[in-house]
Structure 1
Amino acid sequence: MQFNYAAQWLFIFGARASLVNSHQQIQKRDLATSDPFYPSPWMSPDADGWKEAYAQAKQFVSQMTLLEKVNLTTGVGWAAEQCVGQVGAIPRLGLRSLCMHDSPLGMRGSDFNSAFPSGQTTAATWDRGLMNRRGNAMGVEFRGKGVNVLLGPVAGPLGRMPAGGRNWEGFSPDPVLTGAGMSESIKGIQDAGVIACAKHFIGNEQEHFRQVGEAKSYGFNISETLSSNIDDKTMHELYLWPFADAVRAGVGSVMCSYQQVNNSYGCQNSKLMNDLLKNELGFQGFVMSDWQAQHTGAASAVAGLDMSMPGDTEFNTGLSYWGTNMTLAVLNGTVAAYRLDDMAMRIMAAFFKVSKNTDLDPINFSFWTLDTYGPIHQAANKGYQQINFHVDARHDHGKLIREIGAKGTVLLKNTGSLPLNKPKFLAVIGEDAGSNPKGPNACADRGCDDGTLAMGWGSGTANFPYLITPDAAIQARAIDDGSRYESILSNYATSQTKALVSQANVTAIVFVNAGSGEGYINVDANIGDRKNLTLWRDGDALVKNVSSWCPNTIIVIHSTGPVLVTDWHSSPNITAILWAGLPGQESGNSIADVLYGKVNPAGRTPFTWGATREGYGADVLYKPNNGNGAPQQDFSEGVFIDYRYFDKANTSVIYEFGHGLSYTTFEYSNIQVQKSDAGQYRPTKGKTAAAPTFGNFSTDLNDYLFPGDEFPYIYQYIYPYLNTTDPQKASADPHYGQTADEFLPPHAIDDEAQPLLRASGKNSPGGNRQLYDVLYTITADIKNTGSIVGDEVPQLYVSLGGKDDPKVVLRDFDRLRIDPGQTAQFRGKLTRRDLSNWDTVSQDWVISGAKKTAYVGRSSRKLDLSIVLP
């Protein structure tokens, strides 16, 4: 057997200097830096929503040995067990190995599970209830498979660039809409008894250069991953905002990201994990690394990392930064005992927050194969047994998936051709309407664009239990109506398509798409990130051709974000355009429900549709710009992304953020404001308690040796044990024997009481609880002036009034069902945080003296009503 301590401890200066001020001009050679922040804040047992869980965790952790604590915090290695990630078991205390598993839209690599709509499509519903129900349904399925941590939801990427490959896994480039998606998803998942994992923390906005090995496989010669260079104000007002909502919702875990932030790796960046997440936001759960995102041992431990995933330094090396090395580090004082205790407490508190006892259902699937029998230790090819029990965890979730897919469909344009009413002749055109001829799961992790696009590609995917194509669903409805129906499921059958759609009485529906995904998969030279914003497989030519031949052409777009529709959207022959996002397994039924009016569309676009790619301002960095060092991506636009950027540049757009049409009409009137008596803001003062520890441990290395022949050793498995009592040999570190003071940052292992930050809240996850005081309630009347029932999505925006502020920012919304002729009241709330800016001097939220105006409207640029806040 082989254990490794190596010089991994020596790469400890991962967190350097400060987040740059927003006014500083970052030059390519003047690299941004990140302040060190130590020690790592320890848990607060009296935190809101965590008291009972921490009481149980303390009782459990107090019984654990040093080896058991190391086992709980270290992954067992890639493909060492059944799930995509697992930590070691604590059999003496009745806790089986905890299972961490993808993805944020359903069980990855399993069977008899549902394939849900993407987060982005769910955000397009603007319906908090549906966000919660989706999260809960996924939680139920994951729990039914034996999963303990669902690796989602996603707020990173937020969506800084429209071509970002994994934007669809998250919700929206707007932090408030994403924050709602995060909060409701987390509540739903954890109510089902599964820990949610908010990811990827933070600034993980593109796939290019996120990992050195991956970049080199594409021919890029870099030595370090990309650095997202983000100033303090932008970090707080934009990228950190939805993570604050996640923490406030009680999320049990957070995943740190691959790339660097201000030239410090996300999973050893003490400014991010210790200061922003655990100190300022008061996060009480545990931080896990993304898979192979850990680059150091002691450095990552003292910087705030609590769980190493999947445990090995690189896949299937059998080497670990933690495991054996963590055992030695605690024994020699490099990592303080309280830090390991804190890791274990955080993990077990998150566990007990959703699971009241350790009596867990068994893991009943294997990610590595769908075979019923096989090795339970896949990498070692050991432990042949039944590994897949093919448990059907779906319940009736198909109905919910169909509902979200329909309610998340955005009607971008309609000149009267929709809803369909028993059309005489329907012609459906395009590959995106049909099936992948090799099957919906033919491409690993959905890494292709064959047939209809219902999810992106990468680790954020799930296997389809079935996939209803638009062709199948629309054909079934057409047959019931007695319509003539023909489809051509090719983008290139030009002569046949022209002959079909040129006939009399035809309504042509053209299906087109544009995909993206994770960077380890390359689809047609799209290395995760999209290489452009055009439609795939000559979709734009297909749209132009069909609409030139047919005067009643309807366009349906499945995509992972906006596409450029500038050249054809205004054609009079294009009578309707719909964005159907990534709707999951019920794709065809969802779009048919909208096309035929079974569902009156009320989806609203969660991003802006610009006229040009350049109009978005920020874009993917496609080529290294720092020699063979870390590519530098300067977030120099600050908070001005998506609609905020278009408003600042005063640029026209095709379809603005929040836009969406209905089959009925609505009228807005009677805006009112009510000011609450919230009192003055009081910054937090005082100190934490001193670091708690739980029990003593032996310092005799004989007590930590591998158990011997009676305990089977599994190849490449990561253990907490030592293989020799000679610490120098066990560590393989020529510098072994140095004290922590000699090579760890100052204060890294301090254990005395620490000062609380002004913006933090004592025992208040999410930050100072006064930030969430409601200062104003805005009401408005919404009347359905049409003839059919429909949903309307009133949106509350605010102008903060400062010269450096966006024109307007979204702050609240609702989705209201209103009968014809009836009026409903919209009630939107504005909290102290909603009206504040981050002050980089005081390091706190401050409401400026500028005039504040509230707007209620249908989108970011259709603001029907306004009122000045008193």
Structure 2
Amino acid sequence: MNRRFNLISLKRWFMVLIIVAVAAMPLHAFAAESGADRPWMNTSLSAEDRTELLLQAMTLEEKVGFVTGKVNNYYGFYNDGLERLGIPALQMADGPAGVRVANPDVQDKKSTALPAPIALAASWDTDLAKKYGDLIGQEAHNTTHNVVLGPGLDIARTPWGSRNFESLGEDPLLASGMGAAYVKGIQSNPVIATAKHYLLNNQETERFTTNATASERAIQEVYVRPFKAVVEQADLGSAMCSFNQVNGTYACENQELLTNILKDQIGFKGFVMSDYGANFSTVESANAGLDLETPGEPYGKWGSKLLEAVNKGEVSEQTIDEKVRRILLQMFDKGLFDKPVTNTTINAKADGAKARQFAEESMVLLQNNDNMLPLSDNKLNSIAVIGPDADTASAAGGGSSLVNPTYTVSPLEGIRKRAGKGVDVKYAAGTDPVSAGDAFNGPSAVPSAILSPANAQKSEQDYGTDQAEFGLHAEYWTNKDMEGDPELVRTDNQVNMNLGFYNYEGFNAQSSKLPVTPTKFNSKMSARWTGAITAPKTGEYQLSLTSLGSAKLYVDDQLLVDNQGATLSTTKKGITLQEGESHNIRIEYRTDFPVQSNHDMGAQVRFGWEAPEDAVDAKMEKAVELAKKSDVAVVVTRTYDSEGYVDRSDLELPNNQEQLIRKVAAANPKTIVVQMSGRAVEMDSWQKEVPSIVQAWYAGQEQGNAVARVLFGDVNPSGKLPVTFPADDQQTPVSTAEQFPGVNGVGNYSEGIFVGYKGYEKQGLSPAFAFGHGLSYTSFDYRNLHVKNSGKGDDATVEVALNLRNTGKRSGAEVVQVYVGNLPTKVETPAKQLAGWAKVDLKAGKQQRVNIKLDRSALSYWDEKSNEWIMPKGKVSIYVGSASDDVRLTGSVNIGSPSGK
């Protein structure tokens, strides 16, 4: 033992001598040295030793420059490498649903578009999550990136969050397990993963300014837990702090979050970077624990300002050293120095096959009355595929996570290919394409089929022919007052526009059916739409304008709707319209509020309607007629979810899709709905009208093949909901304006730890589909539950064992879920909380003994007085089942705490 100690001591003294020698060398000597003479490039040394050697060789100016990010047209943001010292640049790729390649010189900006992370979470499969992360890590490295901005560990606090599709669900344990596996996969390559957005970044509405206020207990038990897991279980390299304030302090200058919790309590050894432009201070953020500022005009606060603060003594050089040390350590540890990035062509076919597997395992069979699914190609002669984007290449979430796919397969293409030549598969859109305009609230847009750019009557026979043009005549100006000649003239099918952030290259190209609006109209602009509206049925209609910026609707030259648009809002007015009778309309819109001078906050306007149920336009009628003539109708619906400026506050399907489902289902009782979204959708108005519903999420570039294989039973669906689908948008645990979106800039997380299904259960709310829900084409039997605990104190464990049998006629996978409830303490705890799970594949008739070790956090609570996790002493209820509301076995176990609390 003494000899080993002496050897270690000698090694340490040797390292000290090297560092001293390096520090004493003149700077010009380094420039003359070749890379081989740089001691920190010695791969036999530890990452820690290499870091210290290199740190000593850097000047203060170089250190400050190293921790200050730069903007690049190709990479978005990164930090400069230092050629003098051989430090590679951190080249960051947006995620987390694949690698967003921004450089047009790299593989035509294409990579594999994977299912959204919320879909991955629906697989409840940590092995799959690791493969998912590994694929992202490989493609990042092979497209010249060494940092991936993902995974997203923001808890899906509300069901309507526009960025829920980037999350791993509403439960912190599920997000922890899937997130840790995802990070392990990414970092099995020479790539750093970045967990985001730390912390309480749970809404897009006012995300830059919201002050999210939450209790210490809620922060620890719900929102920090996934970050804790990826640090402890996956050696996370980087974390990204968010824009919002947390309890009154901006996240990127919040010492309690960055230093006290993340670095000291959790033991995070990596570095913290800011979201793009999320750093609002120099001294405060530097001293609070931010390590790398990513740029964002006009908010850049480091660089020369940080150097000046160091020279003034406001920030110590030791603090700067610690930032550099953290970054360099991860770069050495994760292999960024030794395995430089490459531009190696992606294997599109092989990686696409993996994307299909991820999609297949993520799909959730929500409903399957009378065993409508799976379809049998031997018993089918015809299938109607219906939906505005069923023939569209890829339905995906927008914003920074949008990936340019290597190839795509639409649902129509996948179903047609799988059905084969013996089945006649025909398509009808039924409604207009979903667009970025559908990201905000308000009535559905008036369909193009009842609009014309001139006052001309149209018949059903005209639709789809060259006999009539549909939509409105549109004129656009780059000023607010329609001055001069318009700079763009075209026909728009609908007035349903959302420019600014949603209209940048790569963000707006989700459908080839939609016109591309030049980005010069992204901020200051005005527009006029003229033409005629022809009602499909006599009745009372509500015509509306939803807008940010002023909008006016004239009918037959009379002002009908005047929406001031000081905030994004809707104004509507009733009008009686006669079937077949045309009325001239004119819509005038201006971006006349100061906030819209920002290129990210552009034009937002929608011409909407609320129509009688029997007001069916010609386009929808064609879909209904096709459904009548077909053996089966498959309605593919979708939402538009995206990073940006707004969350919807309702859960309705946009652009008249709900009416489409009802009308198709009335025409054909064998109607299947395939829902493509990144969030919960309200189904109350049509759920009982259709036998089968498949939640397909945003399923990536292989979505069409994956959907078809699930529908035809080639894949037995095994996905389970990672979020609760409420009955409607009024029956949720977060239901007040104070909670969401907040009042006077403050979002109150007053639900505390009762997020998601825990809140539904506490408030006695019955959801449409519960957390953990998901059906199968086979059935499973649960028996012989046994619960045991062992060890004491920090070594205490609880393990659940049971027999699981596949009692059906098909092979399938079941996710066995274990919940605990009613901890023996005076502190309020959930009646049911996920404590563990296992995904088990079983052939028909086979049985397996399943063992699940429960997570200690689910058996404990955070004590705000002692600032520690407490496992109380006493009896705890155990619930085992197929969903949070589908308990098959119950038991109990005695747990204990060394403190006796």
Match of 1:242 among 219, 226, 241: 226
Give the Cα–Cα distance (whole angstroms) in 1 for the partners of residues 415 and 59 of structure 2: 61
Q: Is contact 1:71-1:89 (8 Å) kept?
A: no
The aligned counterpart of 2:725 is 609
Aligned-residue CA RMSD in angstroms?
1.9
Q: Is contact 1:115-1:462 (8 Å) kept?
A: yes
The aligned counterpart of 2:785 is 671
Give the Cα–Cα distance (whole angstroms) in 2 for the partners of residues 108 and 620 of structure 1: 36
Give the Cα–Cα distance (whole angstroms) in 2 for the partners of residues 644 and 485 of structure 1: 43
**Does residue 326 of structure 1 match 2:306?**
yes
**Does residue 542 of structure 1 match 2:660?**
yes
1:379-458 aligned within 5 A: 391-392=345-346, 394=348, 396-415=350-369, 416-422=371-377, 423-435=380-392, 453=395, 455-458=396-399
In the TM superposition, structure 1's runs of 4+ consecutive aligned residues that sit over 4 Å from their partners are 619-627
Q: Give the TM-score normalised by structure 1.
A: 0.73
Deviations 1:344-374 (A, max 9, x none): 1100111122106345236x5xxxxxxxxxx
Deviations 1:747-792 (A, max 9, x none): xxxxxxxxxxxxxxxxxxxxxxxxxx56111111110001111111
Q: CA deviation at 1:499?
A: 2.0
Deviations 1:11-53 (A, max 9, x none): xxxxxxxxxxxxxxxxxxxxxxxxxxxxxxxxxxxxxxxx943
Which amino acid counterpart does residue 652 of structure 1 have in structure 2? S
Q: CA deviation at 1:108?
A: 1.7
1:35-74 aligned within 5 A: 52-74=46-68
The aligned counterpart of 2:759 is 645
**Does residue 95 of structure 1 match 2:87?**
yes
**Does residue 826 of structure 1 match 2:850?**
yes
Aligned residues: 651
Give the Cα–Cα distance (whole angstroms) in 1 for the partners of residues 62 and 796 of structure 2: 45
Q: Is contact 2:97-2:113 (8 Å) kept?
A: yes
The aligned counterpart of 1:285 is 270
Q: CA deviation at 1:662?
A: 0.6
Q: Is contact 1:203-1:239 (8 Å) kept?
A: yes
**Does residue 680 of structure 1 match 2:770?**
no
Q: Is contact 2:807-2:844 (8 Å) kept?
A: yes
Give the Cα–Cα distance (whole angstroms) in 1 for the partners of residues 287 and 804 of structure 2: 53
The aligned counterpart of 2:459 is none
Q: Is contact 1:468-1:585 (8 Å) kept?
A: yes
Structure 1 range deviating more: 225-234 or 492-501: 492-501
Give the Cα–Cα distance (whole angstroms) in 2 for the partners of residues 250 and 793 of structure 1: 27
Give the Cα–Cα distance (whole angstroms) in 1 for the partners of residues 661 and 341 of structure 2: 51
Deviations 1:778-822 (A, max 9, x none): 111110001111111101111143562111111211211101111
The aligned counterpart of 1:154 is 152
The aligned counterpart of 2:239 is 254
Pair 1:850–1:513, CA change in 2 (3 A) = farther
**Does residue 486 of structure 1 match 2:445?**
no
Give the Cα–Cα distance (whole angstroms) in 1 for the partners of residues 414 and 88 of structure 2: 44
Which amino acid counterpart does residue 183 of structure 1 have in structure 2? A
Larger fraction in strand:
2
Deviations 1:109-148 (A, max 9, x none): 4423111111100000111111110000000000111211
Deviations 1:227-278 (A, max 9, x none): 0001111111111111111111211000000000011100001111011111
The aligned counterpart of 2:463 is none
Which amino acid counterpart does residue 793 of structure 2 have in structure 1? Q
1:344-743 aligned within 5 A: 344-355=324-335, 357-358=337-338, 360-361=340-341, 391-392=345-346, 394=348, 396-415=350-369, 416-422=371-377, 423-435=380-392, 453=395, 455-480=396-421, 482-491=422-431, 493-503=619-629, 506-520=631-645, 527=646, 529-571=647-689, 574-619=690-735, 631-677=745-791, 679-681=792-794
Q: Give the TM-score normalised by structure 2.
A: 0.70
Q: CA deviation at 1:400?
A: 1.1
| Structure with the greater alpha carbon radius of gyration | 2
**Does residue 269 of structure 1 match 2:223?**
no
Partner SS, residue 399 of structure 2? coil
Deviations 1:721-749 (A, max 9, x none): xxxxxxxxxxxxxxxxxxxxxxxxxxxxx
Gaps of 5+ in 2: 1-44, 103-108, 432-616, 895-901
Match of 1:192 among 189, 193, 218: 189
Q: Is contact 2:384-2:633 (8 Å) kept?
A: yes
Partner SS, residue 228 of structure 2? helix
Q: Is contact 1:106-1:114 (8 Å) kept?
A: yes
Give the Cα–Cα distance (whole angstroms) in 1 for the partners of residues 672 and 74 of structure 2: 46
Give the Cα–Cα distance (whole angstroms) in 2 for the partners of residues 548 and 82 of structure 1: 51
The aligned counterpart of 1:376 is none
Q: CA deviation at 1:625?
A: 6.2
The aligned counterpart of 2:215 is 231
Partner SS, residue 396 of structure 1? helix
Give percent identity, aligned residues only.
Answer: 33
Match of 2:316 among 316, 336, 348: 336
Q: Is contact 2:836-2:855 (8 Å) kept?
A: no
The aligned counterpart of 1:131 is 129
Give the Cα–Cα distance (whole angstroms) in 2 for the partners of residues 814 and 774 of structure 1: 20
Structure 1 range deviating more: 643-652 or 847-856: 847-856
Q: CA deviation at 1:653?
A: 1.8
Gaps of 5+ in 1: 1-50, 212-224, 365-389, 441-451, 521-526, 682-772
Which amino acid counterpart does residue 158 of structure 2 have in structure 1? M
Match of 1:305 among 269, 272, 290: 290
Q: Is contact 1:164-1:620 (8 Å) kept?
A: no
Which amino acid counterpart does residue 782 of structure 1 have in structure 2? L
Structure 1 range deviating more: 51-60 or 645-654: 51-60
Structure 1 range deviating more: 594-603 or 51-60: 51-60
Which amino acid counterpart does residue 496 of structure 1 have in structure 2? K
Pair 1:561–1:66, CA change in 2 (3 A) = same
1:145-184 aligned within 5 A: 145-156=143-154, 158-184=155-181
Give the Cα–Cα distance (whole angstroms) in 1 for the partners of residues 148 and 298 of structure 2: 22
Q: Is contact 1:161-1:620 (8 Å) kept?
A: no
Give the Cα–Cα distance (whole angstroms) in 2 for the partners of residues 666 and 610 of structure 1: 26
Pair 1:133–1:625, CA change in 2 (3 A) = closer
The aligned counterpart of 2:568 is none
Deviations 1:429-487 (A, max 9, x none): 1113111xxxx5xxxxxxxxxxx52x11111221122221000110112234x112211
Q: CA deviation at 1:96?
A: 2.5
Give the Cα–Cα distance (whole angstroms) in 2 for the partners of residues 95 and 393 of structure 1: 29
Partner SS, residue 886 of structure 2? coil
Q: Is contact 1:512-1:536 (8 Å) kept?
A: no
Q: Is contact 2:797-2:856 (8 Å) kept?
A: yes
Which amino acid counterpart does residue 425 of structure 1 have in structure 2? S
Deviations 1:189-212 (A, max 9, x none): 00011100000000011111122x
Give the Cα–Cα distance (whole angstroms) in 2 for the partners of residues 246 and 333 of structure 1: 35
Pair 1:661–1:71, CA change in 2 (3 A) = same
Partner SS, residue 263 of structure 2? helix
Q: Is contact 1:136-1:185 (8 Å) kept?
A: yes
Deviations 1:314-340 (A, max 9, x none): 27xxxx422122223223322112111
Partner SS, residue 197 of structure 1? strand
Pair 1:433–1:487, CA change in 2 (3 A) = same
Give the Cα–Cα distance (whole angstroms) in 2 for the partners of residues 854 and 314 of structure 1: 53
